[in-house]
Amino acid sequence: METAEIDLDALRREAASCTRCELYEPATQTVFGEGPPTAWLMLVGEQPGDKEDIAGKPFVGPAGRVLDTALERAGIARAEVYLTNAVKHFRFERRGNRRLHKTPGVTHIRACRPWLDCELAAVRPDAVATLGAIAAKALLGPKFRLTSQRGQVLDWEGRRLVATVHPSAILRVPVEARDEALAALVADLQVVAALRP
Ligand code: URA
């Protein structure tokens, strides 16, 4: 199949019944990527959270709100971006009524990789930005170090790639350090914005 012919809607329908790893069982649904099918930029997060699992859409919870703010400040409209995750089912641990985020394992990332590869082949973005260490390592390998390489324009499989922190990291720093952490995320996304064709 020609890559240009890959139909994102068909992929989304197929991914809805994905059983490639066990995460599909307790999750509400597959959270596939969303955005313009010809977006110049693909943002890759880690996995859907509680709110995303319920809504069936990526980055609609608290981390999504931070991401929206950071994108806006960097001069990138969310509507111009294809947003997805390295893992498309929510991995969690039940604690009473709550479902607590659990980091996906290598097996989950590997099992989910064909979906991400299909999204990349379909959208063919000029640039990719990863959000957080899990997404960065999913694409760049386990040796990648976000702390020393964030915000750099890297060459990845013929595309330009910038790795930055996960927006939820901003919510985890002490309140007094939050503005600075957000400004650093915005600075990385400005590097991304400069890649717009
Ligand atoms: N965190 C992610 O990595 N992705 C989402 O879609 C939501 C939260």
Q: Parse the chain into domains and list their residue ranges.
A: 3-193
Ligand 1 centroid distance, CA of 197 (Å): 26
* Pocket mutation for ligand 1, best pick of 28, 43, 44, 47 (most atoms within 8 Å of C-beta): 47
| Shortest-distance atom of ligand 1 to CA 166 | 3
| Shortest-distance atom of ligand 1 to CA 51 | 7
| Own/partner pairs, 17-21, CB within 8 angstroms, 24+ separation | 18/88, 18/89, 18/112, 18/115, 20/111, 20/112, 20/114, 21/89, 21/107, 21/108, 21/111, 21/112
Distance CA 22, CA 10 (A): 22
Provide block-wise average pLDDT over 10 residues at a time, the chain (197 residues). Answer: 72 98 98 97 98 98 98 98 98 97 98 98 98 98 97 97 98 98 98 98
| Shortest-distance atom of ligand 1 to CA 45 | 3
Ligand 1 centroid distance, CA of 61 (Å): 8
Ligand 1 centroid distance, CA of 130 (Å): 11
The HSE-up count of residue 136 (CA atoms within 13 Å, CB side) is 22
Asked if 82 contacts 44 with a C-beta cutoff of 8 angstroms, the reply is no
String of DSSP letters for 26-61? TSS-----BS-TT-SEEEEES---HHHHHHTSSS-S
List residues near ligand 1 (CB under 6 A).
45-49, 52, 58-59, 61, 63-64, 85
Q: What is the pTM of this model?
A: 0.96
pLDDT at 6: 84
Ligand 1 centroid distance, CA of 2 (Å): 30
Q: Which CATH superfamily is domain 3-193 in?
A: Uracil-DNA glycosylase-like domain (3.40.470.10)
Q: Kindly state the tokens that stand for 3.
A: 């890559």
Ligand 1 centroid distance, CA of 1 (Å): 30
